[in-house]
Each structure stands twice: as C-alpha cells, then as structure tokens.
Amino acid sequence: MSINFNLKQISNWISYFFEKESFRNVEEKFNVRKEIIHEFISQFRKNPIKFFIALAYQDISLLKNPIEIKLLELLMIEKKRRNLKANKLVFLGMANLANYYWCAMKSYYKSKEGEEMFFGAYLVDRIMYALQLDYIKKIPKNPIELLEIGSQISLKDIEKILHKRNVVEKNINIITTHNIIVENGVEKIVVNPNLDENEKKFIIEEAKSNNIEIIDAEKHPLILGEMVETTKAEKYSTIRWNFEWKDFVLVGVPDGIANEFVYEFKTTGSEFLSHYVKPVASTQADLYGFFFNRNNKRVQIYLRDSGLTKTWEEEINKENVNDLLLKFEKIDRELPIAPKKWKCKSCEFFEICQISPLKNI
C-alpha cells in the first residue's frame, strides 16, 4: 500500500466524510486531485480500522503495519479503563468457554492464550458496526477515544445488521473445497472429504501437478470441522458480537441465528466421541441463545465415520449458562476436576497443565 497522505489530510478528509456522509466533493473542498482522493477512499474503505488506529496514535507509519501491532497495548488501556488488573482475563470466546465440558482447564488455557485475539474481534466489530450504523461523528484523537467507539451499540442494532444480512445472504452457499496450510515453511493441502469424487479428484490432481503434498484431513480436526461445516451444516445468517457478564466480555458468533432459535453445528469422528461433544455443543448453543436473546436451540453433530447427522431441538438452558460462568469465574483460584486421561494425549497444553491425570502415572 503506497502512503501518500499526511495525518492532517487524512484527519480532514475523514472528518468531512462523517460530516457529509459522503466523499463526494472532497476534491473541490480540499482542492485535491481526484485520483489521490480515490486512492485514499479505496484504502480507507478496505481497512478503516488502520486509519483510526493511525489517527488515534498520531502515527502515520501504523498504516503500513497490521493492526495487531497495537492490540496488546490497546488491550491494556482497555483493562485500565475498566479498572481491571492487566493480568485479569477479560475478553474470551464463547466457543472456548463451552469447551469447559470437554476439559475445564483447557477451556481456561485456551481463553488465556486467545485473549488478545478476542479483544481484536471486539474492537474491530465495534468500529465496523459503528461505521455501518452511522454512529461515528468524529475521528478518534487518542487511544481512549478509539476504545469508546461503538459504546452505544445495542442488541437492537445488532439485530438490524443481522436482518440486512438475512436479506443479502439468502441462498448464499459457499463450500470450502480445500485449505492450504504451511508446515515447516512448506505449503501443503487439506482436501474437504465431503466433496463429490470428481471434485476431490480434480483438486488432488491439481495439487500433485504443482508438487503440493496432500495431508490427511483427520490430522487437522479444526480445519476439517470448518470444511465439513460448509458442506454439511444448515445455512443461516449470523453475526459476531460481544456481551458483558460481570468483568468478562464474551465474544460469540453462532453458526446460525434464526428468528426463533440459534443453530450450532459440530463434527466428530464417531458415535462414541459424540457423547463427549454433545455437552459442549449444547452449552455453546445455550450461551448464544442466552446472549443473542433466542429461546430455543437447534444443535447438530455430524459423525464422519457413518455420515449420519444427529439433531436436537431444545429450549435454551439459562441456568446452564449462569452455572458455567460462575464455575469459570473461579477457575484461577480453584483448580477444576481433571477430565478423562485420553483427552490429555493430544492436548497442546499438556506441558504446562497443572491437573493432567497423565502426569501422575
């Protein structure tokens, strides 16, 4: 991205944009060449967050960097703004929280590890939706003003955006055919096992002709789950948003939000494993239903070995949500009960885990 603007220009143009709600006539008003304004507009529209961060920090070089460069610093400012300690876990994902019923300790470790990312999602959503809702009337002049953007967004506003998506996204059905991963600096390919045979053959032959190694999808359960979801899950619109519960900010994006219910879809290898996945899927749906204000949940688990999909439709269990949040809240003071040993065998937190029963053998 070539940066030909200075901060003062950017600040003037964006202010004018909010005032007039359009970039039209900026050329005349500021006596700037049309091409320069057009380049600026396209860069601003592609990534308004970068512009806001650069303006808040009064540092144009930030336009050249990924937004992640300031996330940790902003996270610390946000915690201070909320009168919370820097090491207190605040921003977490609902999916990680629901994993409490797979292993409570893992759910905590994953939440700690992912806090900066969930804070990033929180910040991006607030700014993007505030822009969409026309709530930004002045540009942020410091980090605090940046963090205040979007504070007036309500669940009603989120419903409004979701409704627009419902209209726009109706019948859109995007299937992920494959995913490229990088292992030890080498690109490899994971093919969606649910494609029809001809499609699979085509992708595999393409990969072979480009000397790209094909990896067994079962070795990458997260990628596999996401790919299978695009072929097997039901299609509903959805939206990512965050909700406060005591000191926590919970970020969630359901697999679907219909008028009467939230939808959660999971894949697992077998019927046996589905008994362990069900409490997680069901709780995740409870969290979504509770916070996005739906009374019912529709949960599906796709079994890869048999190709069957198990389906449940139930009322949202609000007590389950409350109970989970209260248990999770005290996890750093009171170690939880260990899960079944076999769950620790493939756990990425085994080395640091304080409770793994495998360590006592």
Q: Which is nearer to ligand SF4, 278 or 343 (CB)?
A: 343
Farthest CA pair distance, the chain: 76
Q: Which is nearer to ligand SF4, 112 or 240 (CB)?
A: 112
Give the nearest distance from C-beta 360 to ligand SF4 in angstroms: 11
C-alpha distance from residue 149 to each of 49, 53, 65, 100, 336 (Å): 11, 12, 21, 32, 37
Tell which phi-psi region holds residue 32, choosing left (phi > 0), alpha (psi between -120 and 50) or beta. Answer: beta
Question: 92 by DSSP, 3-state: which?
Answer: strand
| Interaction between residue 353 and ligand SF4 (CB under 6 A) | yes
Question: 277 by DSSP, 3-state: which?
Answer: helix
Number of residues located near ligand SF4, criterion CB under 6 A:
14
Q: Which amino acid is at 207?
A: A
| Interaction between residue 303 and ligand SF4 (CB under 6 A) | no
Give the nearest distance from C-beta 275 to ligand SF4 in angstroms: 17
Q: Which is nearer to ligand SF4, 200 or 343 (CB)?
A: 343
| Interaction between residue 55 and ligand SF4 (CB under 6 A) | no
| Interaction between residue 105 and ligand SF4 (CB under 6 A) | yes
| Interaction between residue 343 and ligand SF4 (CB under 6 A) | yes
Of 302, 297, 272, nearest in space to 193 by CA = 302
| Interaction between residue 344 and ligand SF4 (CB under 6 A) | yes
| Interaction between residue 98 and ligand SF4 (CB under 6 A) | no
Give the Cα separation of 230 and 235 in Å (integer): 9
Stretch that binds ligand SF4, among 160-168, 180-188, 199-207, 340-348 (CB under 6 A): 340-348
| Interaction between residue 355 and ligand SF4 (CB under 6 A) | yes
Q: Which is nearer to ligand SF4, 251 or 353 (CB)?
A: 353
**Share of the chain residues as helix, strand and coil, in percent rounded to the nearest 5:** 50, 15, 35
| Interaction between residue 112 and ligand SF4 (CB under 6 A) | no
Of 37, 39, 40, 70, nearest in space to 53 by CA = 70
Give the Cα separation of 84 and 248 in Å (integer): 10
| Interaction between residue 349 and ligand SF4 (CB under 6 A) | yes
Binding site for ligand SF4 (CB under 6 A): 103, 105-106, 109, 338-339, 343-344, 347, 349-350, 353, 355-356
